[in-house]
Amino acid sequence: MTLISMAVSNIKKNFKNYWAFFISSTFSVFALYLFMSIINNKDVKLQLGDMKSLMILFIIAAYMIAAFSAFFIWYSNSFIIKSRKKEFATYMLLGMSKKQTVILNFIENLITIVGAFCSGIALGLIFNKFFIMLLYVMIRATGDVTFQISLESLKFCSILFGTMFIIITIHSSILIYRDNLIDLFNSSKKAEKGLKVSFLTLIIGIISMVSLGYGYYMAIRKLSTNILIAPIVILLVVIGTILFFTSFISLIIYINKKNEKGLFKGTRLIYISQLYYRYKGNVGTLSVIAVTTTIALCAMIFCFGLFNKVEVNSRNMRPFSVEYANGNNTDTIFNDTIKDHKEISIVYKETMEFLKVKAKNPLFGTNDTFLLLNESKFNEVNSHEKSGVKINLKNDRDCYFFQIAAFAPDKSVIGKEVKLKSTNKDYNLKITDTGMKYFMALDDSKPTFIVRNSVYSQIKGTISKENGYKVTGYVLNNDFISQNFIKDLKSEIPPENKLLTFYDHFKDGLKLTGMMSFIGLFIGVLFITATGSIIYFKMSMEASEDKNKFIILRKIGVSTPEITKAVSKELMILFGAPLVVASINTFVASIPLGKMMGFDITKELIIIILVYAVLYSIYYLMTLKSYIKTVSS
Amino acid sequence: MGVFIMTEVLKIENLRKVYGSKFGGVKYTALDNINLKVENGEFVAIMGPSGSGKTTFLNVISTIDKPTSGSVLIHGEDITKLKEPNLSKFRREKLGFIFQDFNLLDTMTLKENIVLPLALSKAPYKTIKTKLQEISTKLGINDILNKYPYEVSGGQKQRAAAARAMITEPSMVLADEPTGALDSKSSKELLNCLENLNYKNKATIILVTHDAFAASYCTRIIFIKDGKLFNEIYKGDKSRKDFYQNILKILLVIGGDTDDLN
């Protein structure tokens, strides 16, 4: 038998352990090829038009996938080598040299990697057009997609997977060369010796809870007003999650094992002992899975949340359908243009006359220019936009402060005094309320004070004409058919009048969030297949190591249903813990995310977690089936 | 004997086990028309040369293997007619097993190993606790209950296995070469324990062994040769030494131990 035929038969024999690894690698190659081909696709570039810079998203995503695949292949390979050491030792005992064993492993790796690579590329070629069309649907682009073979992406994938192949070959050769025959034989034996729980574990367990709790608290209470603390929050939650798995769960298992009264009850004794014995070897895997799942879930919720809320978001950011700085006969141009578009009619028109004033910024203390608007106009505009904002200033000194904040208004300004500097007179005002609900497009807006009508006209009388600033806004009957009208309007209105439209914002938003969701979808699937396959592989390994235990159990009268029950509970805990922790992390993250985006994303959160859980459960069930099959044969 | 009322624990009638018939290969009769009764509280050894059918016999009465024909009644219940999961339940509640290689789970402490059958039957914690205390005291493993199998000696492991077999107070304990992996001192200790349990608790024990010395602890010995009952002897009032000599004589005739040494 040659080494090659031996390698082939080995792969065939072990395929039940490797298929999950194979699927995941195939999927990474596929996703990478697809993304690289999108980056290099001329049709897509054309579709994106002036949003071409969004391609950077795909580039970032491609590098993320590359990095994750590299990590995943390395990690899986270490497992595989570890589980096969005994097999290698047997070959060597039968007279194979170390060199031949290394070559055998090299051939096997070559076949698997080349196999995964080719099937990934094949899928990429076959489904390339389909997925680009899906992308078009998501970004509402209309256009033809031609079948293209992207040599650039082929090159990129080959380089990446070629490098990975070389690295894992070197790594496995080192692993095989380093150990003596006896070490190879004993490698699976020295595995786990049960949990070690000490006082320190308790302390670390408490630290993990404190770290998670404080991270959650900061995320919910403070993150939305101060984005700068995000790295601290992330760090706290990641450390908390890892420590939670290393110590807190160990502690729980330990307590369960020591509480005889609860332990000596049916199959609990079997799976708790099994967990107690096996958990230590799984801590690393489980915490990595919890963290990566959290990242994947948060990313997906962010992307899909934005994607689903594009319209809401555009309405927030552009309350008017069309808006421009009044001047240069803009009103005439507008009226002339709309005449040519019978499909468009005006529902509401408003011109706001702002006054530019200087004042000390109540938030930062710097001297800035602010806008000033009268109360009645402000309320009128808001009522037409159905924004729900209505202010009621009790006396002349009162004012409402419209602030431009990132995510949530800073309420500390309420009660502060402001001194408005007009041309020859100062006005002392007191902020009685504040808000950040946009009443006009933000792009050109400045923080604005809303004052009583009388004060407004007083100030207006004192300032020069160039310190006035008129903005006209329209609400149209149907924004979604306004594409042509807006195109014409854009060509007519001079750029200095800053034409801003809801439709443009909405269209660009769709492109951005559509692409993000598309990427999120792939990364989500990649993470599920990768994490699922890692647990699947680990459990298959444990099942074959634990075969003897189950033979003993059956001999002393444990029935097959009882064994199935014990195993399914054990796996449920190992699979479930990372998912539950990740879901809680994501739920917490969704609160500030929702606040920052300005809308409720609970629905997206629930749907995404459910879909993720369902796909993840498929891996659970397949692992369970394979485990039971291994220990029953 | 005859001081207390005897009841039948095991009743075997016309037991036959034929291998190899299914696929039309050469038929091999492992057990041929065996009839046997074991009374409550007996300590029986089954002896015979290799290939005599001892293991098949043990497998059949321990419900691991099915006979070709005949019936095996344990406390009046025909175990050959039982199906899963009742079979597992029966095995767990009515039978206790002691194996040559201990078969303790190394993920569990000795205590957990011992209480496993009771825990699986969902016995109340109090009952488990008292029974554990009782049996471990009798077997002298009280001090090592919290240790793991890999931390104790072979003899201690086998006593823990015996405790696991006994804790459910089974109808019958089946021991398959329990001294096979033990040194002579540990063997003696274990056999003393089994003798004690048989005498004091009236536990019914069936011991399959090669070892004449181990067999000499029993009250009755059944010899099997070529799948048939060959002979049986009772200890009666004989001293163990005399009984041991008796056993050796019969083994010489049927070619037991000495045969295996060749």
pLDDT 10s digits, A79-116: 788 778 878 888 888 888 888 888 888 888 888 889 99
Place A286 in a pLDDT band, splitting at 50, 70 and 90: very high
- Domain annotation covers residue A121: yes
By C-alpha distance, which of A444, B107, B123, A374 is closest to B115?
Answer: B123
Rg (CA), chain A: 32
Contact B90 A267 (CB under 8 A): no
Peptide bond into B85 cis (omega under 30): yes
By C-alpha distance, which of B101, B110, B190, B103 is closest to B149?
Answer: B110
Query: Looking at CA atoms only, how far is residue B76 from chain A in angstroms?
Result: 20
Contacts of A269 in chain B (CB under 8 A): 108, 112, 115-116, 119-120
Point out the domain boundary residue: A135, A155, A190. A190
pLDDT given at position B258 = 46
Measured between CA atoms, the residue of chain A closest to residue B86 is A559
- Tell whether A163 and A228 lie within a shared domain: no
Contact B115 A194 (CB under 8 A): no
Crossing angle of helices B154-166/B110-120, nearest 10°? 20
A420 neighbors A449 (Cβ within 8 angstroms):
yes
Average pLDDT of span A488-508: 86
CA distance A4 to A17: 20
pLDDT given at position B260 = 46
More confident residue, A170 or A425: A170
Question: Which of B88, B112, B129 faces A273 most closely, judged by CB atoms?
Answer: B112
Q: Residue A251: is its pLDDT beyond 80?
A: yes
Q: Residue A484: is its pLDDT beyond 70?
A: yes
Q: How many domains does chain A have?
A: 3
CA distance B12 to B53: 15
Place A204 in a pLDDT band, splitting at 50, 70 and 90: very high
CA A366 to chain centre: 37
> Which range scores top for mean pLDDT: A237-246, A367-376, A483-492?
A237-246
Contacts of B117 in chain A (CB under 8 A): 556-557
More confident residue, A158 or B202: A158
Question: Hey, is the C-beta of A562 within 8 angstroms of any chain B C-beta?
Answer: yes
pLDDT given at position A290 = 94
Question: Hey, is the C-beta of B234 within 8 angstroms of any chain A C-beta?
Answer: no
Measured between CA atoms, the residue of chain B closest to residue A277 is B107
pLDDT given at position A407 = 67
Q: Residue A188: is its pLDDT beyond 60?
A: no
pLDDT given at position A143 = 77
Q: Burial-class residue A167 by CB neighbours within 10 Å (0-12, 13-18, 19+).
A: middle
- Which tens digits make up the pLDDT trace of A416-475? 888 887 767 778 888 888 888 888 886 667 888 888 888 888 888 887 777 778 888 888
Position B4: which residue type?
A: F
CA distance B93 to A365: 83
Measured between CA atoms, the residue of chain B closest to residue A554 is B88
CA distance A98 to A91: 9
Position B240: which residue type?
A: R
- CA torsion, points A58, A63, A68, A71, in degrees to nearest 10? 170
Rg (CA), chain B: 18
Suggest the residue from A256, A259, A260, A264 to mutate for an interface test with chain B (most B CBs closer than 10 A): A264
State the DSSP code for A244: I
Contacts of B87 in chain A (CB under 8 A): 559
- Tell whether A420 and A354 lie within a shared domain: yes
Say which residues have a Cβ less than 8 Å from residue B62's Cβ, sequence separation at least 6: B91, B95, B97, B174
- Domain annotation covers residue A271: yes
pLDDT given at position A413 = 81
| Lookup result for tokens 């004997």 | B1
CB atoms within 10 A of CB A416: 14
Give the mean pLDDT of chain A. Answer: 86
Q: Any long-range contacts for A250-254 (C-beta under 8 Å, 24+ apart)?
A: A250/A195, A250/A197, A250/A201, A250/A205, A250/A279, A250/A280, A250/A283, A251/A197, A251/A201, A251/A202, A251/A205, A253/A195, A253/A279, A254/A195, A254/A197, A254/A201
Domain extent for A546? 194-302+528-633
CA distance A46 to A43: 5
Question: Hey, is the C-beta of B55 within 8 angstroms of any chain A C-beta?
Answer: no
| Lookup result for tokens 């690295």 | A167
Q: Residue A613: is its pLDDT beyond 70?
A: yes
Mean pLDDT, chain B cut into blocks of 10 residues (262 residues total): 62 87 71 89 89 86 86 88 83 88 89 92 91 90 91 90 90 89 87 87 88 90 88 87 89 63 39
Place A582 in a pLDDT band, splitting at 50, 70 and 90: very high
pLDDT given at position A616 = 92
CA distance A509 to A44: 16
Query: Looking at CA atoms only, how far is residue A550 from chain B in angstroms?
Result: 9
Question: Which of B64, B88, B105 faces A552 most closely, judged by CB atoms?
Answer: B105
Measured between CA atoms, the residue of chain A closest to residue B64 is A555
Torsion angles phi and psi, residue B36, rounded to 5: -160, 145
**Domains of chain B by residue range:** 8-261
pLDDT given at position A442 = 63
Place A48 in a pLDDT band, splitting at 50, 70 and 90: confident
Pairing of strands A346-360, A367-374: antiparallel
* DSSP H/E element including A454: helix A453-462
- Tell whether A177 and A163 lie within a shared domain: yes
Share of chain A above pLDDT 70, in %: 97
Say which residues have a Cβ less than 8 Å from residue A101's Cβ, sequence separation at least 6: A88, A91, A92, A176
Share of chain A above pLDDT 90, in %: 21
What CATH number does domain B8-261 carry, 2.40.33.20, 3.90.1570.10, 3.40.50.300, 3.20.20.190? 3.40.50.300
A601 neighbors A301 (Cβ within 8 angstroms):
yes
- Domain annotation covers residue A517: no
